[in-house]
Amino acid sequence: MESTTLAQQVQQPDADVAGRIALGSLPRGAKLRPLVAEFGHFVAVVLPPQNPETIETFISSLPKGSKITARQLRKRGEVRVVEEECKFLSGVEHLDHDDMVELCWVGVPSTPEDFVNRAYKAGHPRGLDVHVDEAMRDVTRANLLDPPFVLAKKRALYLKRWTARAKELAGAEEQLRAQMPDHVRGVVGQKRSLQFLQQRVLTGRPLKIQQSMHNTWMVFTDGACDPEARSGSVGGVIYDPQGNCLKYFGESVPQRVMDALLATSQNPIHELEVMPILLAAELWGKTYEGSQVVYYIDNESARMAHIRGDGETLRAAQMIQAFVDIESTCQHRVWFGRVPSYSNPAMGPAV
């Protein structure tokens, strides 16, 4: 098996109170297909080549957020599309079959209502069995089926193996600790990484198997920032398992909070996108306790920060840690999905 350094190992899913990061239940790969497609439909457009003004004028007539997703040069006679399903822009009608044309595919965003309907149909990507991986199943079988002396022996061997491993990594861990950001070093403290992992595992609540695990809730959030006006706002919308809008919030960020954020960043949009996710969990976490919940976020840095369980700044990291604590306490089975800004129903409350 290929060996990895300690620095590489900590880039893998980390242990956390909610268990999702430890089990790697949220893939981080950029190539992972979105839970709900960004565009609601596509329009094929044929136009004379090297004519950007024509296509830009056409796109401006479509809903905001529409953009070219693919383009290719073809001979006019090779374009075999039904006229009602394709837009032929000015100038194409005078071209011969052997003349070159540009075929563009334009993605058109969904309306917020349509996106919510598609998100409702998509549900939560994980089945109930994925929350318990093979290692956890082995632990369960050992605790329930193995004789007590066998279980005691396995526990002793497990602790002996990882205690020895911790000693082997002591030098590498000190080097890694020296490279940690201040806020990470503050959370870890003087604990060895394996001790920190053990503490989080031992203090975590056991997973409850209950009927509410079959329910999937949807939460949409958004944040906005106007650096020139030194103002910001946040919003959120919650949909129940039947797809009905249950509640929403939209508030301006207090000026003292904005002043604190602007003291360290000219445009603290990352914190303002993280903030409503924590607010939603604080406000509604008990409502979907023990259930599956998909948080739809239109800011990629905030979405990825929640997946890895750490923010890009100290304040964002503190908010995400508070979110994870709520996630663990309420035993939420979370997923973080992507929603385009123009399809986000929380964009209205956040403005």
Q: Name which of 304, 300, 289, 295 is nearest 276 in CA terms.
A: 295
User: How far from chain centre, in Å, is Cα 211?
Assistant: 25
Instruction: Give the residues of the chain that fall short of pLDDT 50.
Output: 1-18, 21-23, 83-84, 128, 130-131
User: What pLDDT is stored for residue 167 in this prediction?
Assistant: 82
Both tokens of residue 23? 């089990």
CATH 3.30.420.10 domain range(s) in the chain: 123-127+208-350
Phi, psi of 59 (to 5 degrees): -65, -35
* Residue 218: per-residue pLDDT: 97
CATH class of 123-127+208-350: alpha beta
pLDDT at 53: 84
pLDDT at 316: 94
pLDDT attached to residue 261: 95
pLDDT at 126: 66
What's the predicted TM-score (pTM) here? 0.67
Question: In the prediction, which pLDDT does 23 show?
Answer: 46
What angle do the packed helices 170-179 and 148-168 form, to 10 degrees? 60
* pLDDT score of 13: 37
